[in-house]
């Protein structure tokens, strides 16, 4: 069976939207209530997707709610360098700031390129303080370990985990030579990617992207993939992991829709964030000219495949992908010599990497849970402040971290990783499922110690 790629909302033969190429349309919000208009109720009912709000299926409902739970936690919603307000297209006041950021970025680029002089290999660790180089290098020797502590690595790299990790992996695979990638362009691209993640988001920031990239690397090394993936697959898989949440605003799609954000209109309320992440990545690829030496058709194909991978991370389409995966496994018809099948497996691998936090050792998993809950509750606080309906799981007074995690694991993570374990029945899959079970039990124990929760958080279908 041929696997169809998810086609983009906007065809690639059209120009990348102006907000991407101008790089002034990145998402951020202002706390100024005067900027908030009354939400249009028609918009609230226009959300498209595979999962109906009216469905009685618990899994579907929970996934729908998770679509509601990606929340911004940024304190105060100060406009960032590439900010725009939710109801305006461009915040012109940030343009000066934009130039400043670009200058800083350029300076970092010069600094890093200077380090190249006289060397044949770009070593990102050169930018680190001497004291940390040894430890960060030592960690990279274990980059394929499922216990890899990304938080520690980010500290050791002085907040440059995404640049350092991605460059190291691309270099390790020999992809710079194979694709004749210009080291300085690549370095500049990665620095800009890292910068375009919102560092004030507790969860959807560059550290999450680096974590997903590391997880993706672990999956790429699994025997079934390692023996069949091409260099192009690996390059796309790693770049998609690094860019899959680019410029994430820390709020979810329903928030953008109900607040009439221009991106919701641009992408017609469908995979709004994922389309933006992809278009932002394409904007950086073109700005840095990373693929400019490739034939135009090849470059467009890479961009299209990158989009197909990033769009697969839309959690509201989980059942669609999972159903397709299950059908393939039941029919045992996956043939990894087939390019479209390999691409589908890359999509599934990226989806797993994106939500693998509950499959990590408890000490790491718990930290991710705290961060994502912080974002959820921050969106709820913003919604309360502006008298918007509080999104499911975002109300800190009605939901608890433990119950959110147990629901997430039960309805989203377990079904996905059970199928992944069928596809790739390896020690890593067993390890991940083992951690998942243990972590769920730990959250269960903690919930027991908490005071009785309100009924709605135990019933995922109940509106908040
Ligand atoms: Zn993500």
Phi-psi category of residue 247: left, alpha or beta, with phi > 0 → left and psi -120 to 50 → alpha: left
Q: How far is CA 304 from the centre of its chain?
A: 17
Mark whether 265 and 313 lie in a shared domain.
Answer: yes
Mark whether 155 and 212 lie in a shared domain.
Answer: yes
Residue 395 is assigned to a ligand binding site? no
Residue 112 forms part of a structural domain: yes
DSSP 157-224: TTT-HHHHHHHHHHHHTTHHHHTT--HHHHHHHHHHHHHHS-TTSSSSSHHHHHHHHHHHHHHHTSHH
Among 115-124, 151-160, 172-181, 398-407, the range scoring the smallest mean pLDDT is 115-124
Q: How far is the CA of 320 from the centre of ligand 1 (A)?
A: 18
Residue 59 forms part of a structural domain: no
Q: What average pLDDT is seen over the chain?
A: 78
Tokens of 226: 């390692």
pTM as predicted: 0.75
Residue 208 is assigned to a ligand binding site? yes
Mark whether 259 and 150 lie in a shared domain.
Answer: yes
Decide: 189 and 166 in contact? Cβ < 8 Å. Answer: no
Residue 97 forms part of a structural domain: no
Residue 206 is assigned to a ligand binding site? yes
Q: How far is the CA of 208 from the centre of ligand 1 (A)?
A: 7
Q: How far is the CA of 120 from the centre of ligand 1 (A)?
A: 34
- Give 454: exposed, middle or buried? Use CB within 10 Å, 0-12, 13-18, 19+: middle
What residues contact 153, with CB distance under 8 A and at least 6 apart?
A: 136, 139, 161, 164, 165, 210
**Per-residue pLDDT reduced to its tens digit, 404-455:** 999 999 999 999 999 999 999 999 999 999 999 999 999 999 999 876 655 5
Among 39-48, 104-113, 363-372, 448-457, the range scoring the smallest mean pLDDT is 39-48
Q: How far is the CA of 204 from the centre of ligand 1 (A)?
A: 7
Mark whether 319 and 201 lie in a shared domain.
Answer: yes
Residue 435 is assigned to a ligand binding site? no
Catalytic residue among 19, 168, 198, 204: 204
Mark whether 125 and 198 lie in a shared domain.
Answer: yes
Residue 39 forms part of a structural domain: no
pLDDT at 37: 32
Residue 391 DSSP symbol: P
Mark whether 190 and 218 lie in a shared domain.
Answer: yes
Mark whether 194 and 313 lie in a shared domain.
Answer: yes
Mark whether 312 and 363 lie in a shared domain.
Answer: no
The span from the first CA to the last CA of the chain, in angstroms, equals 41
Of 354, 387, 411, the residue at which a domain comes to its end is 354
**Per-residue pLDDT reduced to its tens digit, 370-397:** 999 999 999 999 999 999 999 999 999 9
**Per-residue pLDDT reduced to its tens digit, 42-73:** 333 332 222 222 333 444 333 333 433 222 22
Residue 196 has pLDDT above 80, yes or no: yes
Reported as type and span, the H/E element at residue 3 is none
Residue 18 forms part of a structural domain: no
Please give the residue range of the domain that contains residue 235: 105-354
Mark whether 290 and 253 lie in a shared domain.
Answer: yes
pLDDT at 118: 34
Tokens of 361: 């050792």
276 is catalytic: no
Residue 398 forms part of a structural domain: yes
CATH number of the domain where residue 334 is located: 1.10.1300.10
């Amino acid at each position: 069976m041929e696997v169809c790629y998810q086609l983009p909302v906007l065809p690639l033969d059209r120009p990348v939207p102006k907000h991407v190429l101008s790089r002034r349309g990145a998402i951020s919000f202002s706390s100024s209530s005067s900027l908030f208009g009354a939400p249009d109720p028609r918009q609230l009912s226009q959300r498209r997707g595979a999962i109906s709000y009216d469905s009685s299926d618990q899994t579907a409902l929970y996934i729908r709610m998770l679509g509601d739970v990606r929340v911004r936690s940024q304190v105060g919603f100060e406009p960032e360098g590439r900010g725009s307000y939710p109801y305006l297209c461009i915040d012109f006041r940030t343009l000066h700031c934009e130039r400043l950021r670009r200058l800083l970025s350029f300076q970092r680029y010069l600094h890093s390129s200077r380090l190249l002089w006289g060397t044949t290999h770009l070593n990102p660790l050169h930018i680190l303080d001497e004291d940390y180089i040894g430890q960060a290098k030592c960690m990279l020797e274990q980059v394929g370990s499922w216990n890899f502590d990304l938080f520690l690595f980010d500290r050791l790299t002085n907040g440059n985990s995404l640049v350092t990790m991605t460059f190291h992996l691309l270099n390790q695979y020999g992809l710079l030579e194979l694709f004749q990638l210009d080291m300085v362009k690549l370095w500049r691209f990665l620095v800009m990617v890292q910068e375009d993640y919102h560092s004030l988001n507790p969860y959807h920031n560059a550290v999450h992207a680096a974590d997903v990239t590391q997880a993706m690397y672990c999956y790429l090394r699994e025997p079934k993939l390692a023996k069949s993936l091409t260099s192009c697959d690996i390059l796309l898989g790693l770049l998609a992991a690094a860019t899959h949440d680019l410029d994430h605003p820390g709020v979810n799609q329903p928030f953008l829709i109900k607040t009439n954000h221009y991106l919701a209109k641009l992408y017609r309320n469908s995979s709004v964030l994922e389309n933006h992440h992809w278009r932002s990545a394409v904007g950086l690829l073109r700005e840095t000219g990373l693929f400019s030496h490739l034939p135009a058709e090849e470059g467009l194909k890479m961009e299209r495949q990158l989009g197909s991978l990033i769009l697969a991370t839309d959690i509201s389409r989980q059942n669609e992908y999972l159903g397709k995966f299950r059908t393939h496994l039941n029919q045992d018809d996956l043939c990894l010599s087939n390019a479209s099948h390999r691409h589908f497996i890359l999509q599934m691998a990226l989806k797993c990497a994106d939500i693998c936090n509950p499959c990590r050792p408890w000490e790491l998993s718990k930290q991710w849970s705290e961060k994502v809950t912080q974002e959820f509750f921050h969106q709820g606080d913003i919604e309360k402040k502006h008298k918007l309906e509080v999104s499911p799981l975002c109300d800190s007074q009605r939901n608890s971290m433990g119950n959110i995690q147990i629901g997430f694991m039960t309805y989203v993570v377990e079904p996905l990783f059970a199928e992944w374990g069928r596809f790739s029945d390896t020690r890593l899959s067993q390890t991940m499922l083992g951690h998942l079970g243990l972590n769920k039990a730990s959250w269960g124990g903690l919930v027991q110690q908490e005071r009785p929760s309100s009924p709605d958080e135990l019933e995922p279908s109940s509106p908040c």
